[in-house]
Amino acid sequence: MYRKRNRVCTEMEVNNATDNSECWPVYMHEFISSLKVLPVPDLAGIVNVPEDKICKSIPQIRITGAEIKASYLLDHSYVPEVDVSTDNLGIWNSKHRSTQTTTFYIKGCDFGGEGDCEYVVRKRRHNHVNAKPLGSVRKVVWTLFKSGGIAFRSLISYRIAEGAEVVLTAHGNARTLKQIYTRTYPSALRRMKELRRTLPPREVLPAMVAEQGSLPGLSITQVLPRNKTQLYSMSRSKIDRSRRRRGGSTDTLMEELLKLSEHAVVESDLISSLEGSVEDPLMTSPHKDSPISSNLAEAAIGVGNVVQQTNSSRAMSLSEFQSQLVDRLSIAPSERRWEIREKINYELEVLFAQSIAARAEECFDESVRGSVMEQLRRWTNWTRKIVT
C-alpha cells in the first residue's frame, strides 16, 4: 500500500493508472536530452516548484505499447542519489553497452541564480539493452549538485517508442521467469551491509521493514532484501573489518601489524591467530598446518616477541609501532629485507585499494565507476611520463 498525505494508493490502482500521476506526478510530458532545454532553475530550487509536482520515490514505469515522453522531478531529501538510476525495468546495461555520463559546470548567473555559485549537473544516458526494437526505450537522468557536492534534485526523462517492449529476464540462475529480475536499490544494499555488522541475517529483514516509511509509490520489492539468500550470500568482505572475528587464515600481513598499533588487541586472540608459526619465520619454514599465510610467516618477523614486549591490553602509539617494526626488520638477513619491504608495500597497496573501493561504493554508482577508473588510468600514465 502506498500513501501520499491523506490519499492512499493501492498497488492495483498504481498499476491501472494511465500515467501513474497519483503517486508519481509527471513534471513535463517531454523527453529532455539536451542541456539547452533542461529546467536548471527548477532543479536548483531557484524557481518555486509545487509540492505535488515532485516525486518522493522512484517512478514505476508501465510499458503499454503507447508512445511515452515523460520527465519526473525527484527531491533527494526523499530519494537517495544513488538510487535515481534504478527503476523497475530491470537491467539497462550490458557488457557491450554501458551508461554514458557527461558532467557540466554551470555558473549561477547563467540562469538567474547567485553569480558566484557554481552548480554541477551530471547527465547519464541509458539505452535499454533488452528493448524491442533496439533503441526504443531510452532514459536520461539529470542530477544537480549544489556547493559541497550535495545532490539536490534529479530529473528522470523517458522516451518509449510506440509498440516498444522490454524482454523480461530471469534473476541470476533462475530457470524460469517466475523470478523476474528486479534490481534492489543501492541504498537498500548499503543498509543491509550496515545491519549485517551487528545483526544476524534473519533479523535484517524485520529491521528494514520497520524502518520503511509511507512515501507515495515506494517499491517494496526494491527497498527490501529480495530473499534470505541475498542476505546470507552477502560477502563477508563487505562487513566492517573491526566487527569481524579477529584472527584466522585470511588475515594479511598488514592487518596483523595494524592490530598492534590501532587496536587494544587481546593477547589470546592474537596468539590464536598465529598458532602454528615458528619463533623465527624467516629462518625456518612454517608448519604445513599453520593457519597463517606464507607471506605473513616470511614477513612478520618476531610477531610473537612483539606480543611479549608490548602490553596487548593497551593501544600502541604510532612512534612505538614504528620502532617495533624497525626492530623486527633489522633482525632479518640483509639479502631478504628487500623481499620483506616489497611484500609490505604490496599489502599497503591492497589496503589502500580496498579503502578507495569502499569509498567508491558510497560515492559512485555502477554507471560512473568505469569513467572514474578511466580517469585514474590517465592520471597514472601522466605521472609515469613525468617520472620518466
Residue 104 has pLDDT above 80, yes or no: yes
Q: Which of 37, 74, 70, 59 is nearest to 152 (CA)?
A: 74
* pLDDT number for residue 195: 78
Pairing of strands 118-127, 100-107: antiparallel
> What is d(CA 361, CA 185) in angstroms, rounded to the nearest whole number?
13
CA angle 217, 220, 224 (to 5 degrees): 140
| pLDDT bucket at 82, cuts 50 / 70 / 90 | confident
* Residue 167 CA, distance from chain mean position: 27
Question: Among 189-193, 252-256, 306-310, which stretch is predicted with the lowest mean pLDDT?
Answer: 306-310
> What is d(CA 205, CA 190) in angstroms, rounded to the nearest whole number?
13
**Mean pLDDT score, 11-31:** 62
pLDDT digit string (tens) for 211-225? 665 555 455 667 676
* pLDDT number for residue 371: 72
**Mean pLDDT score, 350-366:** 69
Question: Among 154-158, 165-169, 184-188, 231-235, which stretch is predicted with the lowest mean pLDDT?
Answer: 231-235
| pLDDT bucket at 355, cuts 50 / 70 / 90 | confident
Cell 559546470 locates to 105
Portion of the chain with pLDDT greater than 70, in percent: 53
Distances (CA, A) of 130 to 93, 136, 331: 9, 10, 62
* pLDDT number for residue 30: 94
Instruction: Give the dihedral of Cα atoms 244, 357, 148, 144; nearest 10 deg.
Output: -120
* pLDDT number for residue 218: 56
| pLDDT bucket at 161, cuts 50 / 70 / 90 | very high
Q: What is the 3-state secondary structure (H, E, C) of the chain?
A: CEEECCEEECHHHHHHCCCCCCCCCCCECCCCCCHHHCCHHHHHCCCCCCHHHEECCCCCCCCCCCCEEEEEEEECCCCCHHHCCCCCCCCCCECCECCEEEEEEEEHHHHCCCCCCEEEEEEEEEECCCEECCCCEEEEEEEEEECCCEEEEEEEEEEECCCCEECCCECCCCCCCCCECCCCCHHHHHHHHHHHCCCCHHHHHHHHHHHCCCCCCCCHHHHCCCCHHHHHCCCHHHCCHHHCCCCCCCCCHHHHHHHHHHCCCCHHHHHHHCCCCCCCCCCCCCCCCCCCCHHHHHHCCCHHHHHHHCCCCCCCCHHHHHHHHHHHHHHCCHHHHHHHHHHHHHHHHHHHHHHHHHHHHHHCCHHHHHHHHHHHHHHHHHHHHHHC
Cell of 237: 568482505
pLDDT digit string (tens) for 144-154? 998 778 899 99
Q: Which range in 86-95, 265-274, 326-335 is most confidently predicted, on average pLDDT?
A: 86-95
Look at 22 and 367; give whichever has higher pLDDT.
367
Question: Among 159-173, 266-280, 373-387, which stretch is predicted with the lowest mean pLDDT?
Answer: 266-280
> What is d(CA 178, CA 161) in angstroms, rounded to the nearest whole number?
27
Contacts with 213 (C-beta within 8 Å, 6 or more apart), sequence order: none
What is the model's pTM?
0.53
